[in-house]
């Protein structure tokens, strides 16, 4: 699939935003490391919301006819894209309510209820984002529960690293935050590793033979019937060499998972904790961008079987 | 009703007539115009609802070339419809035709991702997704002569490799042909349950070359005898 | 239920019927117009040619109608600018016509041969030929010489009709069909319709072709022959049929010259000619009467085999004896040709026997009573349901004439001609063998000023006396057609005109008019040098161009118009009147004689005129007798008036339908002033359906021949006897041997060629160019094919069609390419003895291993065809034509000879051999490249938008085609 920048930015930013927001609520609820101050909570919440909103806005950039974007909420019952939109929009008032509870010292039950609900919606939204891809039978690399799991893990991993940065800056006890981030980053890394392992084995997927129904002999595309690119080749024709993919994967594990892990240790050691946390957060986000780029670049839509691919 | 097409791979010569006629009809049809990019420039491209690919099967000299037209299959379980967030994509209950409401589409491309057959193409000029309408604006146009209430591609196909009809009716020509010729669907494993069917290339007819009574082997002119034949 | 569906607003639409012009097939089209724009083009269901279907080109006619390459006004090369620079100034039609009239008047009054008028795939040759004849120049021909004259000549000298447009397979009854070297053909839609019919009925389809695409894709059996070997394959099949005695004895005796007696006096005059009686009738040996009798007569019992002695002691043998002796020779045994042909011996044998099986074991009998030309009544027709079709894969080789004759030999042996399930004739064919029409060859007439020729410039020579040469044997035609070099050049040699005219060989001309042919690009051999030739000046003659005045008549901005001194812009097919006449290349089908018209459906939005109007106008201005009254006033108001009122012979005119004053007569009758209206009412075509009794065996069908004679298709009611042994060829051969009582060539080269290539029976020889090229150095055969959705050069201007193919590749056999380390998308250098090109490779299975090929005419010169200079047709597409020379490689002691079939002058496009090597890294893009053509004055009318949104609906938001501003 052709990796579109706006979609990459959208999924990474909104994933991180939703992750950050949910974890912020967790930190608030359990008063982790002593608990954030009201001001810090509000700033953290605002940053999370900003990431989400920017992400959502950028996602509309790839719409060819944005004036109809508002209609995207209408197929909640069948479309994960619609669901994602609905959940994201439903999340907003709850998230604002939660922040308002913090700002105006609302009763604790109200603060916790709105916080819990918005955290839950955040989780569902990220899950839906993952499902947008996972529900497509046309793309083997996406059509797996690992995809929403990955989306959640990475969203929460980048959220947890951002949260850690906040905790360090706010001067809280970093230990629980390091533990939280460490755990989530580790889960994300393992899930991603499983995913990469999984997509390597082809499984029973469509081939040029099933795509054409010509099963008695080898089949090879001779001519696609048009000299230059079409919508189909532009949208689906992207092809990434295996070698390059492997290199990017190593890099992604180093930058996205190993580097944050090292930085987490550095945070625990104390000196230069803030810088270490900042590096961890940036590395985590950079890793997420790489992961997302690969996610698209490695996906092979079955329509490629009609443009020269032997299997997808 | 379940309307769709049958494509006969045994006789399709790959002439692209169906594709061009489709373009021509639909350019000025109910979801036209269909954009063409760089029509006179370096890399011409555009929106088409029907594309002909050409495959080769087997190895020289036992190879065969297969011309392969593809347009929307009007799937029964059309994920392109399920995934569409705006409701622009829909499948008509009465005849199974899958259409896109141009007034609702937001151009997110998502449906095209869900389509295994490459049937959907974004028109960058309108920002909307477009695809084969099964020539809905012909097949239901009661002001057209009855015999012309057919998709443009079917009418024009010089090899008569395309048939249009109701697959729900077991006695329709399409149903019968599919039964008799072993018509099949593409990528059945994806379970889209496409309506359109493809008829496979047939086996080559056997012609006997058994020795006949007519003559023995002649190695020289001398072996031929005259027969009395009057003009 | 379907209220939501928006259908057409039919009230805003008009329906018209006309004839397609996107190729020479000439299908009937139903045109829907909306608000003066073309809404839809579809096939006319009632039309005999296409029966409702339409091909890609036909449907894309809209984009041709609105092409930005359309010429907009007459243009004159700017004084002082160089030819080929492409700098033009508009001039008015009046000025243009005055200029041309003056020039032509001068030529006609002095030396009419100084006008050469050559036309491309002209669909009005009856008019252009008449015009040239009336002008008095022998220098006229259409594209036949570079296209497929081998097929026409082979057929017309053998069976009386031919492949190409003179016959068609009987798709309704054929059970076995062999297609030789066809990619698309003029019979484009009918072949597609027919193949489906044949396969649907369970018939077997065999394709003989080095490449497997298109039609060959759906063949039941593909025979990947080595190019140029078809003659050998066909002769080997003849061998198999003879060896197994699989031939139709009755057919041979009744309808062919197999029983005629040939004089056997080797080394003497008269050798190889038919034994004739005092009246000139060929003689047979009658088995019952035991005497020589007239071979044309009925009621004879001829011997098919045998050797006899004449009263004067000459040995004579039957043609069939000679045929059997020739082809039973082990030389033609499958095992001895297999390696050259590239097919297993067993396959060759099997295919021949399969045909025999179908012909003789699965014959068809139709209960149709008919009467033969000798008066005998038959109560049925018997069909040997083997049909064949052959085209340029056979004809575009310099051994194609004989190869095609060999294919006809198979048909004759099987008795499979013009009967049910066969290859059948299309009216006005069959014709006498060869047709009774000789080319004008009287020097006195040709040189006479202001005098029409007494006969058409083209015809069918039967003997050396018919050649168009002067008393020294020098050619009288600029293309040297009907000279000793190419005696039976029945369609001229268009591909030689520019070279010969520039070399003043045989003489200099003054004005060259080219109508719809891209002779500076894809329809010429040796493209780059031909462009240079057009620019060549004459040092002796005050620096004038070697071709002093060049007029190009075209509708579009082509590579050719760029060299014109005067460009006359034509209309498009939707803007003009046209007659598709039986006097021309017919659109008839085997079951119906047919012709058709076009009439204006769209008002031209440019200052253009139909060329036929211009021709009629010029004819009047130049006072051609056929176009003026005795007092010199013009006879025809305009072209439609000419079509209605011109009679070639009494009652026979351009259009055969609705003749007679009241329109009640068909084929023949007085002019009908309402004829155009009648055609328009009848969907722009006319079909005369043959009654069953006249549908078959028309070479010997009395009822048919009576109608044909009346309509002027044939001279008189007489049998058309098919010719195994070709006496005309033998006469030329005798001339070459110095044994002819008449003109003989003086040049040794000509003599040798006549002796070698004018064999009265088909022979196979290595194509001429290949005889002079080292196969080890140039290991590949190189060919072209037509893409089904592109007509030569002119469809690349079509915004829809060019999306399907905007660059051609060099296609190679995958295994062979792999051995050479060549992969898909590699750029390679391809070199012939003549030149080199660079192009990009695509490998495939479906190509014979020694063959490479590409799609024809996709490559373009930058700036042509309304395309932007960076169009990939120009940057990456290529022409194979650069590699093909119009002349054979030079040989010491020999004048330069044309790269053509030595019998017919057919251009030998497919004799090319090449070598291939990978281009160096970084060497990409096609080569050679040429200067970018400049836009013409008037081109600014056309927008070339980045996004085109054509929509004919008048109510559409997006009105306008975005093209004309
Ligand atoms: N779409 C379309 N239709 C056209 C035209 C067009 O440009 N486009 N042009 C029209 C014109 S002018 C013409 S003349 C006709 C020509 O129509 P065709 O006769 O079909 O001409 P080509 O496309 O040259 O195809 C020649 C075929 O012969 C094969 N061939 C080459 N050499 C050999 C050989 O030695 N032996 C055998 N057996 N096969 C061989 C080639 O692979 C190719 O398939 O088409 C007409 N129709
Ligand atoms: N390498 C290679 N070369 C070949 C062949 C091959 O097989 N291989 N095939 C050869 C054969 S068979 C042929 S027939 C030739 C064909 O070659 P051409 O006869 O040159 O065919 P086109 O390129 O179509 O060019 C015809 C011209 O007619 C013009 N035209 C189109 N419509 C109209 C109209 O309505 N009025 C007027 N006045 N002009 C019009 C076009 O603009 C174009 O300039 O090519 C030959 N060249
Ligand atoms: S028009 Fe018919 S023969 Fe031609 S490509 Fe389409 S389906 Fe095949
Ligand atoms: S072919 Fe594609 S666009 Fe058509 S119904 Fe099926 S999934 Fe949808
Ligand atoms: S592109 Fe249009 S039709 Fe397709 S999913 Fe998006 S809104 Fe629906
Ligand atoms: S049914 Fe109509 S819209 Fe669909 S491919 Fe055929 S012509 Fe095009
Ligand atoms: S075959 Fe195609 S281009 Fe040729 S006349 Fe017929 S419809 Fe027109
Ligand atoms: Mo041609």
According to CATH, the superfamily of the domain at A5-306 is Formate dehydrogenase/DMSO reductase domain (1.20.1630.10)
In chain A, what residues touch C804 (CB-CB under 8 Å)? 225-227
Tell me the average pLDDT across C202-220. Answer: 98
Structure tokens at C737: 């041997």
Are C804 and A227 in contact (CB < 8 Å)?
A: yes
Structure tokens at A212: 């054409």
| Greatest pairwise CA separation for chain C in angstroms | 93
C238-255 tens-digit pLDDT: 999 999 999 999 999 999
Instruction: Indicate which of B64, B126, B158 best probes the interface with C, i.e. most C CBs within 10 Å of its own CB.
Output: B158
Residue C29 has pLDDT above 90, yes or no: yes
Q: Which of B72, B101, B111, B132 to mutate for ligand 4's pocket (most ligand atoms within 8 Å of CB)?
A: B72
Q: How far apart are CA A90 and CA A110, in angstroms?
A: 17
Amino acid C962: pLDDT: 36
B211: pLDDT confidence band, cut at 50, 70 and 90?
low
Ligand nearest to C-alpha C23: 7
Residue C278 has pLDDT above 90, yes or no: yes
Strand ranges across the sheet with C307-309: C261-264, C315-318, C307-309
Are B65 and A231 in contact (CB < 8 Å)?
A: no
Are C805 and A227 in contact (CB < 8 Å)?
A: yes
Structural contact between residues C355 and C410, judged by C-beta atoms closer than 8 angstroms: yes
Amino acid C953: pLDDT: 86
State how far residue A64 is from chain B, nearest Cα, in angstroms. 4
Are B15 and C192 in contact (CB < 8 Å)?
A: yes
CA A156, A161, A164 angle in degrees (round to 5)?
A: 120
The residue with tokens 């890099």 is: A251
C331-362 tens-digit pLDDT: 999 999 999 999 999 999 999 999 999 999 99
What is the reported pTM?
0.97
Peptide bond into A198 cis (omega under 30): no
Residue C963 has pLDDT above 50, yes or no: no
Are A81 and B45 in contact (CB < 8 Å)?
A: no
Residue C262 has pLDDT above 60, yes or no: yes
Amino acid C1: pLDDT: 42
Amino acid C121: pLDDT: 85
Structure tokens at C321: 């004896």
C619-651 tens-digit pLDDT: 999 999 999 999 999 999 999 999 999 999 999
Q: Which residues of chain A have pLDDT under 50?
A: none
Structure tokens at C244: 């197994």
Amino acid B213: pLDDT: 52
Domains of chain B: 3-199 (3.30.70.20)
Amino acid B181: pLDDT: 97
Tell me the average pLDDT across B192-215. Answer: 86
> What's chain C's average pLDDT?
96
Tell me the average pLDDT across C831-841. Answer: 98
Three-state SS letters, C730-747 = HHHHHHHHCCCCCCCCCC
Ligand nearest to C-alpha C189: 7
Q: What is the CA radius of gyration of chain A?
A: 21
Amino acid C964: pLDDT: 33
C409-456 tens-digit pLDDT: 999 999 999 999 999 999 999 999 999 999 999 999 999 999 999 999
Tell me the average pLDDT across C675-704. Answer: 98
Instruction: Indicate which of C43, C44, C59, C961 best probes the interface with B, i.e. most B CBs within 10 Å of its own CB.
Output: C59
Amino acid C954: pLDDT: 67
C959: pLDDT confidence band, cut at 50, 70 and 90?
very low
Amino acid B215: pLDDT: 61
Q: How far apart are CA C178 and CA C195, in angstroms?
A: 11
Beta bridge partners of C302: C286
Return the SS3 of C150.
Answer: helix
C123-139 tens-digit pLDDT: 899 999 999 999 999 99
Tell me the average pLDDT across B162-189. Answer: 98
- How far apart are the CA of B86 and the centre of ligand 5, in A? 7
Q: How far apart are CA A145 and CA A160, in angstroms?
A: 22
| Segment 215-244 of chain A within 8 Å of chain C by CB | 220, 222-223, 225-228
Strands (E), C162-303: 167-169, 176-180, 204-208, 221-223, 261-264, 283-286, 291-294
C149-205 tens-digit pLDDT: 999 999 999 999 999 989 999 999 999 999 999 999 999 999 999 999 999 999 999
- How far apart are the CA of B10 and the centre of ligand 6, in A? 20
Amino acid C751: pLDDT: 98
The most confident of the ranges C385-394, C540-549, C956-965 is C385-394
Per-residue exposure over C613-636, b if at least 16 CB sit within 10 Å of its own CB, e if not: bbbbbbbbbbbbebbbeeeeebbb
| Segment 102-141 of chain B within 8 Å of chain A by CB | 103-110, 112-118, 121-122, 124, 126-128
Are C218 and B10 in contact (CB < 8 Å)?
A: yes
Question: Measuring CA to CA, how many Å separate C609 from each of C71, C93, C296, C555, C814?
Answer: 11, 9, 51, 9, 50
Q: Search chain A and give the residue with CA nearest C877.
A: A227
C528-560 tens-digit pLDDT: 999 999 999 998 878 899 999 999 999 999 999
Tell me the average pLDDT across C799-828. Answer: 98
Measuring from each residue's beta carbon to the nearest atom of ligand 1, which residues come in under 6 Å?
Answer: C 23-24, 57, 121, 147-148, 180-186, 188, 208-211, 225, 227-228, 230, 391-393, 397, 783-786, 788, 790-792, 853, 910
State how far residue C726 is from chain A, nearest Cα, in angstroms. 45
Amino acid C3: pLDDT: 53
CA C297, C301, C302 angle in degrees (round to 5)?
A: 85
Amino acid C2: pLDDT: 52
C90-122 tens-digit pLDDT: 999 999 999 999 999 999 999 999 999 999 988
Residue A135: other Cβ atoms inside 10 A: 22
Are C845 and A226 in contact (CB < 8 Å)?
A: no
State how far residue B194 is from chain C, nearest Cα, in angstroms. 23
DSSP state of C579: E
Structural contact between residues C465 and C743, judged by C-beta atoms closer than 8 angstroms: yes
Closest CA to C162 of C394, C384, C382, C373: C394
Q: How far apart are CA C445 and CA C439, in angstroms?
A: 12
Amino acid C960: pLDDT: 37
């Amino acid at each position: 699939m052709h990796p579109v920048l706006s979609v990459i930015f959208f999924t990474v930013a909104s994933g991180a935003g939703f992750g950050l927001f949910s974890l912020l609520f967790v930190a608030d609820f359990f008063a982790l490391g002593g608990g954030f101050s009201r001001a810090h909570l509000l700033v953290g919440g605002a940053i999370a919301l900003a990431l989400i909103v920017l992400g959502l806005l950028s996602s509309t950039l790839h719409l060819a006819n944005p004036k109809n974007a508002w209609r995207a909420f209408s197929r909640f019952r069948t479309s994960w894209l619609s669901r994602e939109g609905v959940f994201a929009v439903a999340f907003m008032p709850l998230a604002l309510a939660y922040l308002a509870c913090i700002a105006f010292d609302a009763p604790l039950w109200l603060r916790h209820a709105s916080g819990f609900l918005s955290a839950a919606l955040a989780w569902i939204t990220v899950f839906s984002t993952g499902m947008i891809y996972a529900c497509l039978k046309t793309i083997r690399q996406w059509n797996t529960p690992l995809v929403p799991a990955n989306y959640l893990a990475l969203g929460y991993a980048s959220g947890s690293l951002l949260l850690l940065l906040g905790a360090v800056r706010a001067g809280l006890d970093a230990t629980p935050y390091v533990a939280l981030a460490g755990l989530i980053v580790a889960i994300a890394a393992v899930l991603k590793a499983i995913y990469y392992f999984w997509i390597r084995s082809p499984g029973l997927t469509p081939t040029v033979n099933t795509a054409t129904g010509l099963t008695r002999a080898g089949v090879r595309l001779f001519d696609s019937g048009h000299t230059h690119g079409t919508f189909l080749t532009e949208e689906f024709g992207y092809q990434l060499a295996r070698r390059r993919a492997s290199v990017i994967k190593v890099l992604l594990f180093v930058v996205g998972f190993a580097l944050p892990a090292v930085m987490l240790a550095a945070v625990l050691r104390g000196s230069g904790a803030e810088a270490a946390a900042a590096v961890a957060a940036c590395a985590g986000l950079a890793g997420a961008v790489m992961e997302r780029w690969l996610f698209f670049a490695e996906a092979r839509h079955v329509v490629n079987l009609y443009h020269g691919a032997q299997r997808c | 009703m379940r309307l769709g097409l049958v494509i006969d791979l045994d006789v399709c010569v790959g002439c692209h007539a169906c594709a061009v006629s489709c373009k021509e009809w639909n350019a000025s049809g109910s979801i036209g115009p269909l954009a063409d990019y760089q029509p006179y420039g370096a890399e011409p491209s555009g929106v088409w609802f029907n594309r002909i690919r050409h495959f080769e099967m087997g190895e020289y000299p036992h190879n065969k070339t297969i011309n392969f037209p593809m347009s929307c299959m009007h799937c029964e379980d059309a994920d392109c419809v399920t995934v569409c967030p705006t409701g622009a994509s829909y499948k008509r209950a009465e005849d199974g035709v899958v259409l896109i409401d141009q007034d609702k589409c937001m151009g997110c491309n998502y449906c095209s991702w869900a389509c295994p057959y490459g049937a959907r193409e974004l028109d960058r000029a309108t920002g909307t997704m477009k695809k084969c309408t099964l020539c809905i604006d012909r097949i239901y146009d009661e002001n057209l002569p009855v015999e012309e209430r057919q998709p443009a591609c079917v009418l024009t196909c010089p090899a008569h490799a395309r048939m249009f009809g109701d697959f729900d009716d077991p006695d329709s020509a399409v149903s019968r042909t599919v039964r008799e010729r072993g018509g099949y669907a593409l990528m059945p494993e994806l379970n889209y349950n496409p309506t359109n069917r493809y008829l496979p290339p047939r086996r080559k007819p056997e012609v006997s070359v058994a020795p006949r009574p007519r003559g023995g082997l002649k190695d020289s002119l001398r072996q031929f005898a005259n027969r009395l034949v009057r003009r | 239920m379907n209220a939501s569906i928006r259908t057409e607003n039919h009230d805003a639409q008009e329906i018209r019927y006309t004839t397609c012009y996107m190729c020479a097939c000439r299908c009937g089209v139903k045109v829907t117009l909306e608000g003066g724009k073309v809404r839809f083009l579809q096939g006319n269901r009632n039309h005999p040619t296409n029966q409702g279907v339409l091909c890609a080109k036909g449907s894309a006619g809209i984009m041709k109608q609105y092409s930005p390459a359309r010429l907009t006004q007459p243009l004159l090369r700017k004084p002082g600018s160089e030819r080929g620079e492409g700098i033009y100034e508009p001039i008015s039609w009046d000025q243009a016509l005055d200029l041309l009239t003056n020039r032509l008047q001068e030529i006609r009054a002095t030396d009419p041969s100084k006008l050469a008028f050559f036309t491309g795939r002209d669909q009005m040759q009856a008019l252009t030929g008449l015009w040239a004849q009336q002008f008095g120049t022998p220098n006229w021909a259409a594209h036949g010489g570079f296209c497929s004259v081998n097929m026409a000549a082979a057929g017309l000298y053998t069976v009386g009709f031919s492949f190409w447009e003179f016959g068609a397979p009987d798709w309704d009854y054929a059970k076995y069909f062999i297609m030789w070297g066809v990619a698309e053909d003029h019979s484009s839609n009918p072949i597609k319709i027919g193949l489906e019919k044949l396969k649907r009925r369970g018939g077997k389809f065999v394709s003989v072709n080095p490449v497997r695409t298109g039609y060959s894709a759906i063949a039941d059996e593909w025979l990947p022959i080595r190019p140029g070997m078809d003659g050998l394959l066909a002769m080997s099949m003849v061998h198999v049929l003879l060896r197994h005695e699989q031939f139709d004895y009755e057919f041979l005796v009744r309808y062919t010259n197999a029983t005629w007696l040939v004089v056997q006096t080797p080394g003497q005059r008269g050798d190889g000619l038919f034994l004739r009686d005092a009246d000139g009738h060929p003689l047979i040996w009658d088995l019952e009467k035991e005497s020589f009798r007239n071979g044309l007569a009925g009621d004879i019992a001829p011997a098919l085999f045998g050797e006899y002695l004449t009263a004067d002691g000459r040995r004579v043998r039957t043609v069939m004896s000679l045929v059997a002796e020739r082809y039973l020779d082990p030389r033609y045994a499958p095992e001895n040709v297999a390696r050259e042909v590239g097919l297993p011996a067993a396959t060759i044998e099997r295919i021949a026997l399969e045909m025999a099986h179908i012909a003789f074991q699965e014959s068809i009998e139709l209960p149709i009573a008919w009467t033969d030309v000798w008066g005998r009544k038959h109560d049925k027709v018997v069909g040997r349901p083997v049909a064949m079709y052959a085209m340029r894969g056979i004809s575009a080789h310099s051994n194609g004439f004989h190869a095609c004759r060999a294919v006809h030999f198979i048909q004759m042996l099987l008795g499979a001609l013009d009967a049910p399930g066969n290859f059948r004739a299309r009216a006005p064919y069959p014709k006498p063998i060869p047709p009774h029409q000789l080319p004008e060859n009287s020097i006195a007439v040709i040189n006479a000023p202001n005098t029409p020729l007494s006969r058409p410039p083209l015809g069918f020579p039967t003997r050396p006396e018919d050649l168009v040469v002067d008393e020294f044997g020098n050619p009288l035609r600029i293309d040297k057609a009907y000279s000793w070099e190419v005696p039976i050049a029945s369609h001229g040699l268009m591909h030689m005109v520019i070279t010969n005219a520039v070399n003043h060989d045989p003489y200099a001309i003054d004005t060259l008019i080219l109508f719809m042919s891209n002779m500076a690009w894809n329809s010429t051999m040796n493209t780059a040098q031909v462009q240079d030739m057009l620019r060549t000046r004459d040092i002796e003659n005050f620096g004038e161009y070697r071709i002093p005045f060049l007029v190009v008549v075209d509708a579009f901005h082509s590579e050719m118009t760029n060299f014109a001194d005067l460009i006359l812009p034509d209309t498009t097919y939707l803007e003009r009147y046209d007659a598709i006449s039986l006097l021309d290349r017919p659109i008839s089908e085997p079951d119906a004689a047919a012709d058709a018209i076009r009439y204006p459906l769209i008002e031209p939005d440019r200052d253009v005129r139909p060329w036929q109007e211009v021709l009629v106008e010029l004819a009047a201005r130049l006072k051609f007798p056929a176009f003026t009254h005795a007092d010199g006033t013009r006879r025809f108001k305009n072209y439609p008036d000419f079509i209605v009122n011109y009679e070639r012979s009494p009652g026979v005119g351009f259009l055969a339908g609705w003749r007679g004053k009241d329109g009640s007569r068909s084929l023949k009758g007085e002019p009908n002033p309402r004829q155009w209206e009648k055609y328009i009412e009848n969907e722009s075509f006319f079909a005369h359906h043959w009654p069953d009794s006249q549908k078959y065996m028309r070479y010997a069908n009395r009822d048919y021949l009576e109608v044909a004679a009346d309509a002027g298709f044939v001279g008189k009611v007489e049998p058309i006897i098919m010719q195994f042994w070709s006496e005309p060829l033998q006469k030329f051969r005798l001339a070459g041997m110095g044994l002819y009582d008449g003109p003989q060539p003086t040049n040794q080269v000509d003599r040798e060629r006549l002796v070698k290539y004018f064999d009265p029976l088909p022979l196979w020889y290595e194509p001429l160019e290949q005889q002079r090229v080292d196969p080890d150095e140039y290991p590949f055969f190189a060919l072209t094919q037509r893409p089904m959705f592109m007509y030569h050069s002119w469809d690349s201007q079509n915004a829809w069609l060019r999306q399907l193919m905007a660059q051609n590749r060099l296609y190679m056999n995958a295994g062979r390419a792999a051995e050479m380390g060549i992969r898909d998308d590699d750029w390679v250098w391809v070199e012939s003895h003549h030149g080199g090109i660079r192009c990009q490779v695509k490998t495939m299975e479906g190509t014979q291993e020694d063959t490479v090929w590409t799609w024809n005419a996709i490559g373009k010169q930058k700036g042509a065809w309304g395309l932007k200079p960076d169009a990939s047709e120009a940057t990456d597409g290529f022409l194979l034509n650069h590699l093909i020379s119009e002349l054979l490689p030079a040989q010491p002691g020999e004048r330069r000879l044309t790269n053509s079939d030595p019998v017919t002058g057919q251009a030998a496009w497919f004799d090319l051999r090449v070598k291939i090597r990978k281009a160096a890294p970084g060497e990409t893009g096609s080569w050679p490249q040429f200067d970018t053509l400049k836009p013409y004055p008037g081109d600014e009318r056309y927008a070339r938008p980045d996004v085109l949104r054509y929509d004919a609906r008048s109510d559409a938001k997006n009105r306008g085609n975005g093209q004309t501003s």
